[in-house]
Amino acid sequence: MAEKPDIDPKRENPEQVELDGVSEGIEALPGRLNRYGKAKKGAIDVAEYIGTIQEHQGIARRVQSCGDYLVFRHYFTVDQVKLHGAQLCMAHLLCPLCAIRRGSKALKAYLDRWEVIRAEKTSLRPFLVTLTVKDGPDLEERFKHLHKGQRELWMRKHRGRGSPLDGVAGAVWSYEIKRGKGLGLWHPHLHMIALAENQPDQQQLAAEWHNITGDSFIVDVRPISQEDPAEGFMEVFKYAVKFSDQPPADTLQAWLTLKGKRLLASAGCFRGVPEPEDLMDDATALADLPFATLFYRFMQGRYALTN
């Protein structure tokens, strides 16, 4: 059967998606470097595993060298530190460092869009919706089952025949894949930020979801704090991190199965937010300010400042 939804944003996770570089000063930089250092070590572990497989040695070398150096700019007059340059592999389903950066950029983009939406449509509130499907041994089959179910759920809303999502004006969702507890079968699930005036009915959604999937009824619906929405939004944008937060063999299988598939999507008033391509921090607003350049290399298991 499907596991209960995994939606505890406060649990400890060394690769947690955060709003890196948004308003962090120089005192926060050691924490960022420690987080990135742990992620870099994870990338090395993955690279060493997949490097033993002949046909994957090219991507293994890319992941191995990811994050060898990081270049920050410290805009000291306003005490903001921005990641300006780095050697990144951009393989976020394999690399924890790229996963952190990608998740952080997407999180900020959708939080910014939410601020615009709620200024225009003050009655809308954000809700965290989680959909699961029954665990299974075949990752590709289980992912397709979840993806097909999600599509049908939205189609029923658009057909206008009565749906638990009828009041949803916009949504963004991501697919999260991991091994389930117990038998260790694949446990795909979906986290969604749904914007609506009233909270979607969980019992109605569970019944509809079971009707669609035929094997799954475990769903969760809960409100997100409007005062601090980032915590709730993180559940959606940690999707990239979770692929790399597992044994290297599972990380490789997930990458081989899901690479090229769209794992983050949106609808309604959330549609149109571009997925991040440049993983550096945005310093456009600081362009005219003086800065000091800080160059770090990964040496002996940590990032060290170099000349």
Which pLDDT tens digit goes with each residue over 132-178? 999 999 999 999 999 999 999 999 988 887 889 999 999 999 999 88
Position 20 pLDDT exceeds 90: no
Task: Look at residue 12 and tell me whether its pLDDT is greater than 50.
Answer: no
Looking at residue 240, what is its pLDDT? 61
pTM to 2 decimal places = 0.86
User: Look-up: residue for tokens 């993955």?
Assistant: 46
pLDDT at 241: 63
Q: How many CB atoms lie within 10 A of CB 85?
A: 13
- Average pLDDT over every residue of 216-237: 89
Q: Is 103 a residue whose pLDDT tops 80?
A: yes
Give 46-94 pLDDT, tens digit per residue.
999 999 999 999 999 999 999 999 999 999 999 999 999 999 999 989 9
Per-residue pLDDT at 9 exceeds 50: no
pLDDT at residue number 22: 55
Band of residue 230 on the pLDDT scale cut at 50, 70, 90: confident
Range 27-37 average pLDDT: 93
> Does the pLDDT value for residue 17 go beyond 80?
no
Q: Is the pLDDT of residue 19 over 70?
A: no
SS3 readout for the chain: CCCCCCCCCCCCCCCCCCCCCCCCCHHHHHHHHHHHHHHHHHHHHHHHHHCCCHHHHHHHHHHHHCCCEEEEEEECCCCEEEEEEECCCCCCCCCHHHHHHHHHHHHHHHHHHHHHHHHHCCCCEEEEEEEECCCECCHHHHHHHHHHHHHHHHHHHHHCCCCCCCCEEEEEEEEEEEECCCCCCEEEEEEEEEEECCCCCHHHHHHHHHHHHCCCCCEEEEECCCCCCHHHHHHHHCHHHHHHCCCHHHHHHHHHHHCCCCCEEEEECCCCCCCCCCCCCCCHHHCCCCCEEEEEEEECCEEEEEC
Q: Give residue limits of the domains in the chain.
A: 26-306
Per residue in 180-214, pLDDT (tens digit) is: 888 889 999 999 999 999 999 999 999 999 999 99
Residue range 16-33: average pLDDT?
Answer: 76
Rounded Cα gap, residues 219 and 266, in angstroms: 19
Give 237-289 pLDDT, tens digit per residue. 876 666 666 889 999 999 999 988 889 999 999 999 988 888 999 999 999 99
Long-range contacts at 112-115 (CB < 8 A, ≥ 24 apart): 113/270, 113/273, 114/193, 114/195, 114/229, 114/233
The CA distances from residue 88 to 43, 109, 126, in Å, are 11, 20, 33
